[in-house]
Structure 1
Amino acid sequence: MQEQFKFHMPTEILFENGLTQKMGRYIKGSSVLIISDPFLYKNGTAQRIGDTLAGKTVTYFSDIEPNPSCESVDAATAVARESKADCVIGLGGGSSLDVSKIVSCLVTNPGSIYDYYSGGTRVLESRTTQLVCIPTTAGTGSEVTNVGVFTNRKTHIKMPMVNNQFWPDIAMIDPQLTYTLPSAVTASTGMDAFCHAIEAYWNKNALPMCDMLSMGALKLIIDNIKTAYDTPSNCEARSAMIVASLVAGISFSQTRTTGIHALSFPLTTEFGASHGTACSITLPAFIRVSSQYEAQKMNSLVHYLGYESVEQFADAVEALMRSMNMPVRLHELGVQEKDIPHIAEVGLSAAIIQLTPADMNQKTVEALLRSIL
């Protein structure tokens, strides 16, 4: 047990079925920009939320792609500045929420995202625009973190950006928004939340509070993800999954993630995998190596979750993924033996990989990748 630790969570969290239909009472200012992906705009979800904001000017931006690019951020920023937005609402999965974080800052900070991110020389000053994040998937946890992940098209590298201005003022959790998620998205985002929880648990920056949050989140996911996948209309399973995602998000917001996420970056940008798939495909392998430095802690976790050993737990996670038609071998993403050294090299360039409770170097990471090729 650590003798000293710090836990900081400045975001107000609101949870209620139907919450987004009465959110006007929580929105400050008069000019609101709602950032969503194209699907949520076309199906009317973004407009239905905007319609609840009586008396306010509402503008929409929906040109958000998966693994959002810096160009998308700059395009959304231009709309925010033109409308003089004093509130930015991020609606959707991690891509929309991440873009909303930096756009809320760039409303009053000059220049492009490139001036602040990935080699930029400017520093974001304090944010005055209200930031509200509303997740529509049970997975990313972005609504309760100070992290945004963006793809630099100039370098073709996807990397996280951490800034205390990115903490949302309010996270609005409305389980009803997840009830119509397709099964494939339920699986991918749910396993992303699983990765968040377990990476916070075994993390070299782990905290006692985060351990308890992660254990609870993992139990909720194990007990509910398959039900949500098989029976999308099961409201109890859906609510449990979005709570698990939220709790896992709070946990890893304090610790950051580890090797799973570091290796996911090239798997998304270069092999087209969704974020949740790119993370979870290495999850069983990382579970197997996690006992190198955290054997006692991992044994405690697997016994709490009802398994006899770490190896049995890893096998069960892989079987769960297979049961949801998720890839469990890298060749299913198109990865070949010749790609392994490059993927390892890119993953090792992310500092978070060294928060893994195992030796992470070119040789060990290549071996891990080959074990699931």
Structure 2
Amino acid sequence: MKTVRFQTPGAIIAGNGCFSEVSKQIIELGKIKSILIVTSPSIVRQGFATDLLNSMTKVGIASKVISGVMREPTVQHIEELHEQLDGQVFDVFIGLGGGSVLDVTKLLAVLSTGKQMLADIIGIDRITSRGVPTILIPTTSGTGSEVTPNAIVTVPEEQLKIGVVSQHLYAAMVFVDPELTLSLPPAITAATGMDAFTHALESFISNKANPISDMFALESIRLLSKGMVEAYHNGQSLQARESMLYGSVYGGMALACSGTAAVHALAYPLGGRFNVTHGVANAMLLPHVMAFQLAAIAPRLDLAANAMGLSDKDGAEQVLQCIINWTAQLHIPQNLRDFGVTPDDIGELAIRASQVTRLLNNNPKALSITDMESIYRKLL
């Protein structure tokens, strides 16, 4: 096999209730005098940000909270958050929230050094040096951002989401606490869960798949298959939440090592132009993209079927049917018209998706513009 590079955060602390240990564990990063907590309004309402703030105060660490992170953050939004720092210096940035919060935290930590502007780092390997150390604490089970070197930004003028990818974005420390996900509403549980499953399955069929990514991808597929529907219907099931969160983490590790593919490429313009939530876009596209290339990936899907607890007979077809069944059970939208997409938009969407070559190059079967248009039309 070709040489594979696998990297992960400096430390991962996992377990129910480990969130309460952040202020104790942070000393591993050296003498910390001040931190910035980056979060969202919903996390503030739930009291998690206040709990973290109070725990830092008890150990003599000064803290500031920025709680205005929006979903699917734009370039302008991130720059405005950076301006709010007004040159203040922090020893550590802590991201507490869903994928958007974690992505923003990574980027703010780099921007705070003053060495590069956001426009300079959008793309692959354009960050020249590591930013302020980050601690990432996921509160959803979807993006796996806490363990990846990626941050996604929306660029409205290009009607697209674009990745910032750099080894310098890996966190210094990650806390994985399933208890933080118990209050996730069903709709967010569904969207983020399908996002995580897409990460795992695309990483498994990717052209860059390898023994290391396969290990994480298959375990992610197994855990998510086990817990997703249960977590949707019974959000207080800690066992289901554990399966979801650890499945999401392993999916992030898989994609960091092999990468996602065409599903994500086609999802990006749906988010960039029509504000379709990333997890929902992935869930809508997943069965159609997999069906398009079924002949090329059937042996891999047979292995995925086994991890999902499905029959060995006609495993690939069973995987597709299971995904379709999940989207029905999880009430994932299935019509792009609900988001304002019309037949006249299909051509432009396909052109925008074709520009995401970083991900399309990972896909086992090449997609033409016509192929992409056909897939989008299946959702109208």
The answer to whether the superposition gives a TM-score over 0.5 is yes
Correspondence list, 1:1-373, <5 A? 2=1, 4-27=3-26, 28=29, 29-53=32-56, 54-80=59-85, 82-110=87-115, 112-117=117-122, 123-305=126-308, 306-307=310-311, 308-309=313-314, 310-351=316-357, 352-373=359-380
Question: Cα distance, 1:212 vs. partner?
Answer: 2.1
Question: Cα distance, 1:154 vs. partner?
Answer: 4.3
- Partner SS for 2:162: strand
1:260-282: per-residue Cα shift (whole Å, max 9, x none)?
Answer: 11111111122221110011100
Q: Distance in 2 between matches of 1:203 and 1:280?
A: 17
1:65-95: per-residue Cα shift (whole Å, max 9, x none)?
Answer: 1111122222332344533111000111111
AA aligned to 2:17 is G
Q: 1:6 to 1:115 in 2, by over 3 A?
A: closer
After TM superposition, the score normalised by the length of structure 1 is 0.94
Is the contact between residue 287 and residue 314 of structure 1 (CA under 8 Å) also seen in structure 2?
yes
Q: 1:331 to 1:291 in 2, by over 3 A?
A: same
Q: Distance in 2 between matches of 1:365 and 1:273?
A: 17
1:294-325: per-residue Cα shift (whole Å, max 9, x none)?
Answer: 33222232244314332232122111111111
Count of residue pairs brought into register by the alignment? 370
Q: Distance in 1 between matches of 2:17 and 2:285?
A: 36
Is the contact between residue 144 and residue 249 of structure 2 (CA under 8 Å) also seen in structure 1?
yes
AA aligned to 2:39 is S
AA aligned to 1:91 is L
Gapped regions of structure 2 (runs ≥ 5): none
AA aligned to 1:365 is M
- Partner SS for 1:355: coil
* Range that drifts further, 144-153 or 177-186: 144-153
Is the contact between residue 70 and residue 151 of structure 1 (CA under 8 Å) also seen in structure 2?
yes
Is the contact between residue 12 and residue 171 of structure 1 (CA under 8 Å) also seen in structure 2?
yes
Q: Distance in 2 between matches of 1:156 and 1:298?
A: 32
AA aligned to 1:282 is L
Question: Cα distance, 1:37 vs. partner?
Answer: 1.1
1:135-160: per-residue Cα shift (whole Å, max 9, x none)?
Answer: 00011100000000011244443211
Question: Cα distance, 1:187 vs. partner?
Answer: 0.4
AA aligned to 1:325 is H
Q: Distance in 2 between matches of 1:335 and 1:198?
A: 27
Is the contact between residue 327 and residue 333 of structure 1 (CA under 8 Å) also seen in structure 2?
no
* Range that drifts further, 233-242 or 5-14: 5-14
Is the contact between residue 86 and residue 128 of structure 1 (CA under 8 Å) also seen in structure 2?
no
AA aligned to 2:339 is L
Q: 1:226 to 1:117 in 2, by over 3 A?
A: same
Identity %: 28
Question: Cα distance, 1:123 vs. partner?
Answer: 4.8
- Partner SS for 1:133: strand
1:188-220: per-residue Cα shift (whole Å, max 9, x none)?
Answer: 000000000001000001011211211111111
Q: Distance in 2 between matches of 1:330 and 1:155?
A: 20
Gapped regions of structure 1 (runs ≥ 5): none
Q: Distance in 2 between matches of 1:7 and 1:110?
A: 27
Q: 1:33 to 1:301 in 2, by over 3 A?
A: same
Question: Cα distance, 1:128 vs. partner?
Answer: 5.0
AA aligned to 1:157 is L
- Partner SS for 1:89: strand
Q: Distance in 1 between matches of 2:218 and 2:116?
A: 42
AA aligned to 1:94 is G
- Partner SS for 1:14: strand
Is the contact between residue 33 and residue 58 of structure 1 (CA under 8 Å) also seen in structure 2?
yes
AA aligned to 2:20 is Q
Q: Distance in 2 between matches of 1:277 and 1:128?
A: 32
Q: Distance in 2 between matches of 1:266 and 1:156?
A: 6
Q: 1:11 to 1:199 in 2, by over 3 A?
A: farther
Q: Distance in 2 between matches of 1:147 and 1:5?
A: 18
1:18-44: per-residue Cα shift (whole Å, max 9, x none)?
Answer: 112121122242110000111112332
Q: Distance in 2 between matches of 1:364 and 1:156?
A: 20
Is the contact between residue 221 and residue 304 of structure 2 (CA under 8 Å) also seen in structure 1?
no
